Structure 1
Amino acid sequence: MVATRTEVQEVQPISSHKNNYDLNFMRQKIFAYEKTIKDDFNIFKGDLLEREACSFVTSNMNAFLFGLISDSSVKAEIAWSLPYRLKERLHHFDLNKIANMDIDELTGIIKEKPALHRYPLNIAKYLKAAAELLISKYESNASNIWANGASAAEIVSRLEEFKGISHKKAALGSLLLVRDLGIDIKDKENINIAYDIHIRRICLRAGFCSQDTIEDVTMAGKRLLPEFPGRLTSSFWAIGRDICRPTNPLCSECPLDDVCEHNLSLGEDIHA
């Protein structure tokens, strides 16, 4: 796969790497792998979601926000199906009605078998609070969070105002908006690689960073692809889940094998 001029822009070398591999070569390896996985690990474009649930969260931005909030402690397909399943059970998706619901009632609906989430009470609190904030600050429309040319930093900051959205999830949300929903965010250099367990393990083992902190992993992403660090998220996540596993990693199958320090003793004990 031939990288574009933007993709091969020169950046500061990763000084910790003992062989000081050329970053352009490393990126081309990553982009080539990205092309092979296509949409296999894309929650919206792959086969993880049923058509109706996928259509709902990609066409209704309030549902998208609810899905992002729910994306914690459960499989992604469960989290992102929750808005559609909730609408089915409520027989509506009216923010005013959701904001005025009793927490116990909303919890019971989420908890009803099959449960829509592993932690129904917490999610009920988060979604009710989200509905209230959307009504009071964003005219009942989550699209206003990123409207009018908002920067990536502004979007992340606004998403973090919602209960249940950490900095990690806010960064993921901004990435999904650009990559999958076609939202034009001009400062893509401020959309960071996700601080995910699989990605953290790769960065430590490969020598991209020396410490498991959000600052170190974020800076590793910026050094690897300064113009759009978040683009690395899908490839690194897929490598970490299926190849660079906590134990018995399949190094010979890894696209980063040639540029990896193979610090395999690191990363086994990383938890979310």
Structure 2
Amino acid sequence: MSRADEIFIANCRDILENGVWDTDREVRPRWEDGAPAHTIKKFCIVNRYDLREEFPILTIRRTYLKSAIDEILWIWQKKSNNIHDLSSHIWDSWADGSGSIGKAYGYQLGKKYEFREGVFDQVDKVLYDLKHTPASRRIIAHMYNVEDLKDMHLYPCAYSMTFNVSGNTLNGILNQRSQDMLAASNWNVVQYSVLLMMFARAAGLEAGELVHVVADAHIYDRHVPIVEKIIRNPQYPAPRLIVDETVKDFYRFTKNSFRLENYQYTDLDIKIPVAI
């Protein structure tokens, strides 16, 4: 069975059995019909995925690899904050009439800063440091810019990546302030696993561990029966992720540079309601 399945099931069971409901409080998110979207949550879950052992994608439900990669490239490679640069419609609810989501996500990664070594945006500084100072303990990209929060249509959920090189292995820590377990948990794990592989390839390193830290891991009230159904689905072995061996430049990767071999999964035949 997939290690990603085991982790997801354990996290969800822990939340459902030991989590805390916020039904005694006023909450910001609303369902489409205007009802408050309450959650049951656990504070601070930490999961580790060794990318040398298997690719951490769920089999108990399908995670759409190409769409997940398209979004992570939109943020980290295109450094865009406009949904017109994105193939899917997952950000439509947060975009204005021009397609902008404000000074969020890709906008932050694309801002130029002056460093001792020169002027870089955050992505190019990570690439520079991995190649020139891999022993550094300061290789971090961060999107939670307090100065610009007022101009973001949604505060970043996945807000920082810390990169650390041990020998010839690149490891990373993904920090999230908030995680919708049903809609986005494995989606983010898949995205940042691929991102770690991209940075590793560009720096001539091997991708190692992705550590995923979530401050507020929650299941929405209307998601509970869907989650309970999914965690009872059949589990299959993890598929193999095939990465185009000819691509070594971070900016040459596309969603078609990646494909899954032997991906078995159970289709989710229920539409997931999204709280805004």
TM-score by length of 1: 0.33
Structure ranking higher on relative contact order (CA contacts 8 Å, 6+ apart): 2
Structure with greater helix share of residues? 1
TM-score by length of 2: 0.33
Structure with greater strand share of residues? 2
